[in-house]
Homo-oligomer: A and B are copies of this chain.
Amino acid sequence: MMRYGILLMGAPYSSQAAHSALRFARAVAGRGHRLEGVFFYHDGVHNAARLAAPPQDEPHLVDGWAALAEDHGVSLQVCIAAALRRGLLDEREAARHGKQGHSVEPPFELTGLGQLVDLGLRCDRLVTFGP
């Protein structure tokens, strides 16, 4: 059993990175490893967009990550600086920036880049999926 982390930097739909990462995450968990967390950075933060409405006959990545979190207790950490610039705010940040409405909700959590460094150095393996 090893501890894994995933760094995802590609948006869903625009690039295959999110599909690859989710599939890899499931395989890691299926092999009995511990997937400690997924960190969303760069355009990867769009994976947390709660308003995403893909066609019904296509995979819904946002829901896919939420299911992974529930099934395996994986934390879903979204870089707050990358997210705010891209219009991804949870309720607290929306209030802080005087915006009506929010676009990120649990199990995704906005967090600092320090969590990425921590995840990368704490885990036995960090695997990056870029766009």
Asked if residues B51 and A85 are in contact (CB atoms below 8 Å), the reply is no
Minimum CB–CB distance from A19 to chain B (whole Å) comes to 13
Interface residues on A, range: 20 to 34
Q: Report how many copies the assembly holds.
A: 2
The answer to the question of A88 belonging to the interface, with a C-beta cut-off of 8 Å to chain B, is yes
* CB contact between A53 and one of B12, B49, B51, B99 (< 8 Å): that residue: B99
Q: Name the distance in Å between A91's Cβ and chain B's nearest Cβ.
A: 10
Which residues does A use to contact B, with CB under 8 Å?
11-14, 42-43, 46, 49-55, 58, 62, 84-89, 93-94, 97, 99, 101-103
Provide 22 A-B residue pairs closer than 8 Å at the C-beta atoms, listed in order of the A residue.
A11-B43, A12-B85, A13-B85, A13-B86, A43-B43, A46-B86, A50-B99, A51-B89, A51-B99, A51-B103, A52-B84, A52-B85, A52-B86, A52-B87, A53-B87, A53-B93, A53-B97, A53-B99, A55-B85, A62-B87, A101-B102, A103-B103
